[in-house]
Structure 1
Amino acid sequence: MLMVYAPRAITCLDSHILNETLLPCKNTHVNSLNNVSIGLGPIRAPCSSILSASSFYWKSRNQLSSIKKWLCQMHDSIPSDDEYRSSRNIAISLFRRYRNVLDRGGGDNLKEFISAGVNAYALGCTDEGLRKELIDMKQSGVEIEAMESYSGSTSLKSKIASGEIDECILWLSIIFITILCTPQPTIVRWSSTPPVSDEERLKWKGFCAVIANAYYLRGMAWLPVKTLQLEQMAVVGQAEEPSVVASRMRLVFSTLEVVSPQWPKV
């Protein structure tokens, strides 16, 4: 994994949970990388500072090879760099993987969605920018093709629903906030634009930080759902259903395992 320490980090964590000492939620901004020279063409919002409508331009082939390898440390289901050439392509990639989790269950499918979300974070995307891309596609009647099935390719396509957009982007926001709650900048972000809106950050930073605290300081891989419901009550005045909270917790723990594995794989 490529790791570059940011020149500054902004602490953004205040927890409401039982006066517990939690890890700081760090907003890592990397505006420049030593020995890496990047030339950008016209930028297609919202993935500022990295994405162009055509391609990336690099002055070092060795750097290109190492960066691309890091950005694409995902399963073989990702066919090419085309998924990262524009913010719209990234939005489609994320949405397809979101549907894949719903249709086929978590496990590796969830890890693929998280890996795509981590790449979106690194490329400078924002939750609201990708939401806008999906809304634009919904309004234009675009149909999204399903992921390739285990038995071969499939031509199944369907339109985007508003509820799907909201939930998919919420998952993405939780992934972004979880990355910000790691104790050091584990993922380099090539943009100074905050990855999540202030509203979502305030709503979920305590939730993600409670889990990050358990993961890093206590070596835990699960928490009592009631603990997280209390955090939700303190922040937004109400708690989600236990099954929903458990799924949110699984998303955070799985993201931490992807960006900052604590135990060797067997």
Structure 2
Amino acid sequence: MCRLGDSSSFDDEYRSSRNIAISLFRRYKNAVDRGGGDNLKEFISAGVNAYALGCTDKGLRDELTDMKESGVEIEAMQAYGGNTTLKSKIISEEIDECIFWLSIIFITILCTPQPTVVRWSSTPPVSEEILRQWKGFCALIANAYYIRGMAWLPVKTLQMEQMAVMGRSEEPSVVASRMRLVFSTLEVVRPQCPRA
């Protein structure tokens, strides 16, 4: 779950773990439905805030699963100047992918030089299993970003890391999108201009 202070300066979306889960899920859907770029950065920024507030992947998954099981519909984020309100039911596969993206963001933060993002909780942000599977992947990208100033790695290198840890690798396009998520997270938490 998440630890929240009593500060009234927090937006409503950060007042409870349920509100944080809804905010993340809406931003995730926005990034998927409308494409990356600024939409992806908004999702990442919300994920960084969730990390700082002490949220865990399990706690946020539980919130979204509870809402799915109770039939709650999530209102889509509105387009600029639009008055249309769309509501949709939460689907299990979307919860899984949203939380997976969030886990990658959390692990990426763990791979940054300390203290990039201060966490308000000593509870680990992700399970040991997901950390074991993805820490090497995120660390390779973080090292390329911080040490060599790179903004891209060969997909084959990351597929070999997946093969070594999980015994299988994902399709190149999927690996490239995971890599983009990690690099985008690094740009949000510690912007830098890659060296030529």
Note whether the superposition's TM-score is higher than 0.5. Answer: yes
* CA–CA distance in structure 2, aligned partners of residues 243 and 232 of structure 1: 14
Instruction: Indicate conservation of the 8 Å contact 1:147/1:154, yes or no.
Output: no
Number of residue pairs the alignment of both structures matches: 194
* CA displacement, residues 183-242 of structure 1 (integer Å, 9 cap, x when unaligned): 221111000100011111001000000000000010000011111000000000000111
Partner of 1:128: 58
Q: Which has the higher contact order (CA 8 A, sep 6+)?
A: 1
Q: 1:1-266 residue pairs with structure 2 within 5 A?
A: 46-48=1-3, 50=4, 56-57=6-7, 81-263=11-193
* CA–CA distance in structure 2, aligned partners of residues 246 and 157 of structure 1: 31
* CA–CA distance in structure 1, aligned partners of residues 122 and 84 of structure 2: 39
Identity across matched positions, percent: 80
* CA–CA distance in structure 2, aligned partners of residues 154 and 116 of structure 1: 23
Partner of 1:42: none
* CA–CA distance in structure 1, aligned partners of residues 63 and 47 of structure 2: 15
TM-score of the aligned structures, taking structure 1 as reference length: 0.71
* CA displacement, residues 67-118 of structure 1 (integer Å, 9 cap, x when unaligned): x6xxxxxxxxxxx700000000000000000000111100000000000000
Partner of 2:27: helix, strand, or coil? helix
Instruction: Indicate conservation of the 8 Å contact 2:149/2:193, yes or no.
Output: no
Amino acid at match of 1:47: C
Output the aligned Cα RMSD: 1.4
Larger Cα-atom Rg = 1
Partner of 1:144: helix, strand, or coil? strand
TM-score of the aligned structures, taking structure 2 as reference length: 0.96
* CA–CA distance in structure 2, aligned partners of residues 156 and 215 of structure 1: 38
Shift of 1:263: 2.4
* CA–CA distance in structure 2, aligned partners of residues 153 and 95 of structure 1: 20
